[in-house]
Structure 1
Amino acid sequence: MKANPIQLPTTNGNLHKPPITTKHFILPIITLTLLITIHLYLGNFSGLRLIGPATPAAEEDIKCNVFQGSWVFDDKKETYYTNDTKCVIDDRQNCMKYGRPDTDFMKWRWKPNDCELPEFDAVEFLEVVRGKSLAFVGDSVGRNQMQSLVCMLASEAYPIDVSYTNDTRFRRWTFPTYNFTLVAIWSPLLVRTRDSNPGNFTRNSIMNLYLDEADDAWTSQIENLDIVIFSAGQWFFRPFMYYEKGEIVGCHFCNQENITDLTVYYAYQMAYRTIFTTLLNLHNFTGLAFLRTFSPQHFENGDYNNGGNCVRTRPFMKQEMRLDGYKLQMYSTQVNEFKAAQKEGEKKGLKLRLLDTSDAMIMRPDGHPNHYGHPASDNKSFPDCVHWCMPGPVDTWNEFLLEMLKMEGEGFIERAPQRNTTKLNLR
């Protein structure tokens, strides 16, 4: 069939009828073909996100590990308290009182890798713990965190000391407006100890350590508490005679014949196993228990008694320092025992949580008192590269704590239900 020619207007208004040949269709056909091809290509491969940014996952599907991150300098960062705040700061951690000249160590904030760690909100914390009790159980580094928390809360509510003793190792504060009680329980090794020679106690005297007996200092009180934070570390490095079932099983730095020399890691493992076994077998503790992980010291150029010190004035970066050696071994030992207990605790309805501060603190050699924990005239005192200046990086531990308590949600502690009380033994 012959196609009718298309009539086109001429400039003079007359019509002529030139026949349209095949060459007039080539360009439009090629153009149409290319457009169809591109459309099909994009349709088939758009799933590969070759064009345009990837669609982000929903925020609620992203869970951030607040314990993994780095320290970021923030010149505008303000401290939560000062050494003039109406709270208790042990002189040994009151670095500004004794003239520490640099202040940048207070200007670093912790930045998790995948999110932000909110600043500590005293009102929010006190609302979360309203009507509850919280105890720090452990050594003087645990007391360091406890005193930090008291000072951080003092901006909102003045703590009232209702301690039943003059012993500063055992303290009790109340915040009446919030019906909240904060308790410090001295138990530096968390298991039972006894001085072999109480009248001649020194840093190097041998103590008896009963690895299978939890310390009554905390077991006698824990069933009346809602939140308990356990921590212990540096004391395990001193000389000990180790006991299990009432018999000597070995020692550490005892230098006695016929007694097996056991490592500090063995004692650390057995002690934490005893702690968690005790928790799992308590009948009436229905609260929340935290393990705050090993707090590293930063002595350089020697030990505390032979020239060691900690004079750095800035943190390490992640690529400069990480947990290794004995510090990693101590951390891994307690965390492994924690994980085993947490697994059993889930079966019994016991809430065990990890306050994992070690990675953050291994990077803070600048945060210790060094020689600024005592008057300059006191030249007999050793440098302190174990505890933490207040204010200072130890305050971040309580930022972590608040975030963890918030993660538990509403009504995270219930007193009424009784836990499964089937006896367990992690040994």
Structure 2
Amino acid sequence: MAPPTNISSIFQYLRLTKNHSIILTSFVLLFSLLTLLNLPLTSNFFKSTPTSTSNTNSSAYFFSNTSTTIAPQSIITSFSNNSAAKQSILIASPPTRSLSKNNSSLVITSPLPRILPKKNGSTLVRKMNNSCDIFDGKWVFDDFDPFYTSGSCPYVDSTFNCFNNGRSDLGYLRYRWQPYGCDIPRFDGEIMMKMLRGKRLVFVGDSLNRNMWQSLICLLKMFKTSVMKHESAHSFHFKDFNCSIIYIGAPFLVQRWQLPALEGAKTPRETLRLDTIEDHISKYHDADFLIFNTGHWWNHNKAKNGENFFQEGDVVHRKMDVGEAYTKALNTWAKWVDKYVNTNITQVFFLGFSAIHFRGGQWNSGGSCHGETEPITDEKYLKPYPWMMRSLESIISKMKTPVMYLNITKMTDYRKDAHPSIYRKFKKKKHKERTQDCSHWCLPGIPDSWNQLMYTSLLSS
């Protein structure tokens, strides 16, 4: 008799030998092994498990952050052009709690695959066996084309459309984010749209979140099979997938307010209600995905130097430090999320602080970044970690709601070369030489990588 080569032939061989003790012992050992690995005891398991020669590779991983473990069970699916070849594997992963060295970032705690397109249309999944913080890495030069070509997306604000505004040096598009110790999947519009089918994804925050929102619209526009309807200035609906992607402007996350003008004044007093969430946010509490951010408006200029601006209840504080007010506002946001967001329906993200690169002044005092053509390469030249992020991380860690924290601060600090600088639209020509934009990002550009990291995290859930 030929030697057995698989599970079925092993049992057939043992049956023919009529050695029942061997059969019983073998069965007990196999049962123990499958129980230990938490694998199903069915014949379908042996039929469906891919072999080393399978043309579709699969892996699974999950995420944890400062507040909780996300998705103890995870799925990742690899696609090929042949629909019959599509398959996925669900692997039950034990919950773990893993934090980065600065206790601030989303950490991948089991093998992370990289998904790259192959010429035949299938996907290549490459595993790396170590855990890593996907926000701790560097920018590396890459021959991959950008996710979409410069000037090709009609939904980019003129202030972000550097190519159409005359920027001709496009070398800044030839870098990709590379975490230390692992690779991340390249953004795939088809997979992303399938994850968003029948759902609402809402960005809430300042103009950096608008930067990211427009990037995502452009990334998904490149997925040719979807039909997109422009519902309003800040809302897009993908009809083929019944999916809406929306932006809500709320730069402080809490409510801006107006009080009656003081005696002798002509205009109402503007205040910021630190104890009240922005009105427009409440109607989206049941969205499937909420991506919040705030940060760039918490400065002495926007906050009127903290004088007669911050309000709690009926009290307008004569003077309050901007940092104290920021922390109070974030606590208001956190309490609102914990009270009104149903985690069985909604997944919450928070986009961290995006670095700025003004030289010789600030945005309103002659600061510039024009002429920068390469990223920072030495980590020692990065700025100190922002105090605002440490405050945010402390608040998130105390929330009962799981929050996916997209800690983009370090990755953006390297990229002094990718701002619009002078390549932006100006309402008045006289402002062109005086005011540069070293806060926002050209599109295509850095926000595409933020969406790639969000896409990576959604693959886990």
Same fold (TM over 0.5): yes
C-alpha distance in 1, partners of 2:428/2:349?
40
Q: Mark the CA change 1:336 to 1:266 in structure 2 (over 3 Å): closer, same or farther.
A: same
Q: Is the 8 A contact 1:87 1:150 kept in 2?
A: no
C-alpha distance in 2, partners of 1:330/1:173?
31
Q: Which residue of 2 aligns with 1:354?
A: 405
The alignment's C-alpha RMSD in Å is 2.3
Structure 2: tracts of 5 or more residues without a match: 1-109, 112-126, 262-267
Identity %: 29
Q: Is the 8 A contact 1:138 1:188 kept in 2?
A: yes
Deviation at 1:230, TM superposition (A): 0.1
1:330 correspondence with 2:330: no
Q: Which residue of 1 aligns with 2:169?
A: 102
Deviation at 1:159, TM superposition (A): 2.3
| CA distances 1:343-399 after superposition (whole Å, capped 9, x unpaired) | x22xxxxx3211111110111111110110126982314210111000111110000
C-alpha distance in 1, partners of 2:165/2:260?
35
Q: Following superposition of structure 1 onto structure 2, how do residues 20-419 of structure 1 map, counting pairs within 5 Å?
A: 62-74=130-142, 76-156=143-223, 157-163=226-232, 168=233, 171-195=234-258, 207-223=270-286, 225-237=287-299, 238=302, 239=304, 240=306, 241-248=309-316, 250=317, 259-260=318-319, 262-282=320-340, 284=342, 286-311=345-370, 312-324=372-384, 328-341=386-399, 344-345=400-401, 351-374=402-425, 378-381=429-432, 382-408=435-461
Structure 1: tracts of 5 or more residues without a match: 1-56, 199-204, 251-258, 346-350, 409-427
C-alpha distance in 1, partners of 2:172/2:128?
34
C-alpha distance in 1, partners of 2:378/2:183?
17
Q: TM-score, normalised by structure 1?
A: 0.70
Higher mean displacement: 205-214 or 306-315 = 205-214
Deviation at 1:306, TM superposition (A): 2.5
C-alpha distance in 2, partners of 1:376/1:115?
45
Q: Mark the CA change 1:80 to 1:208 in structure 2 (over 3 Å): closer, same or farther.
A: same
Amino acid at match of 2:425: H
Deviation at 1:295, TM superposition (A): 1.1
C-alpha distance in 1, partners of 2:450/2:332?
25
Q: Give the secondary structure class of the aligned counterpart of 1:354.
A: strand
Q: Is the 8 A contact 2:227 2:239 kept in 1?
A: no
Q: Which residue of 2 aligns with 1:27?
A: none
Q: TM-score, normalised by structure 2?
A: 0.65
Deviation at 1:207, TM superposition (A): 3.5
Q: Is the 8 A contact 2:272 2:311 kept in 1?
A: yes
Deviation at 1:245, TM superposition (A): 2.1
Q: Which residue of 2 aligns with 1:411?
A: none
| CA distances 1:92-144 after superposition (whole Å, capped 9, x unpaired) | 01000111131111111000001112211111111111111100001111001
Q: Give the secondary structure class of the aligned counterpart of 2:204.
A: strand
Q: Is the 8 A contact 1:321 1:362 kept in 2?
A: no
Q: Which residue of 2 aligns with 1:29?
A: none
Q: Is the 8 A contact 2:130 2:182 kept in 1?
A: no
Total equivalences in the alignment = 319
| CA distances 1:9-41 after superposition (whole Å, capped 9, x unpaired) | xxxxxxxxxxxxxxxxxxxxxxxxxxxxxxxxx
Deviation at 1:86, TM superposition (A): 4.4
| CA distances 1:128-171 after superposition (whole Å, capped 9, x unpaired) | 111111000011110010000000110113421112xxxx4xx1
Q: Is the 8 A contact 1:211 1:242 kept in 2?
A: yes
Q: Mark the CA change 1:60 to 1:310 in structure 2 (over 3 Å): closer, same or farther.
A: closer
